[in-house]
Every structure is written in structure tokens, then in C-alpha cells.
Amino acid sequence: MSFPPPEAAAAESTRAPSWSAQRLLSSPHRLCFFWAGVQWAVSAGWWAAELLAGPRAGDSQHLVPLVAWHGLWFSLGAMPLFVAGFVFTAGPRWLHRGLLVFSA
């Protein structure tokens, strides 16, 4: 395993941070991918908590089964944002247009 030279590490530490709200808002695909990732993380945490909790009394009393909630959350929550982010990224290339850049 080789390590980068110290000069590269010093240059890396002086570089501006890659994350900022301005960068997130500069292109619509970044915002879509960010919120889709947040929804996936929240959903994964909720689903893990449900699985770790095990069967509980009254589980059959839910109006909508937990499996249906899980599917609805992904199909109507995170996936449309991922698709929109992909279209904002690939759409201009497919239409031979420049990338969409917005300023806040």
C-alpha cells in the first residue's frame, strides 16, 4: 500500500470543503439526490426498528400493513426523487443541451 506524498496531503487539507448549502442548491439533481438519500436513511432506520422490535400484540390492528407502508414509502417517496435527479442529470445530455445551473 502506498501513501500520497506529504505535499498532496497538505494541498488536500487547504482545499475548500466540498459540501455547502450553496453547492447543494446550485443544481436540481443534487437537491433531488440529497432528499432521496435522507428519505432512504430515515426509512432504513424505521424499518430496522420495526424488524428489531419483533412481533407485538396488536400488530394486526394496523389500518395499513407495515409491509405496505414500506413499499409505499419507497415507491412514492424516495424513488421519484432519484428518478427526477437522474432526469435532471441525463436529460440535458439526451436532448443535446447544456447542464441546468440555477443560482439561489
Dihedral, 17, 19, 25, 31 alpha carbons, nearest 10: 160
pLDDT by residue (tens digit) across 38-56?
Answer: 999 998 898 888 778 777 7
Q: Give the three-state DSSP class for 57.
A: coil
Q: Residue 36: is its pLDDT beyond 90?
A: yes
- What are the residue ranges of helices labelled H in the chain? 6-14, 21-25, 28-53, 66-73, 79-94
Mean predicted lDDT score pLDDT of the chain: 79
Q: Residue 84: is its pLDDT beyond 90?
A: yes
What's the pLDDT score for residue 68?
87
Average pLDDT over residues 70-86: 89
What is the reported pTM? 0.66
Q: Give the three-state DSSP class for 96.
A: coil
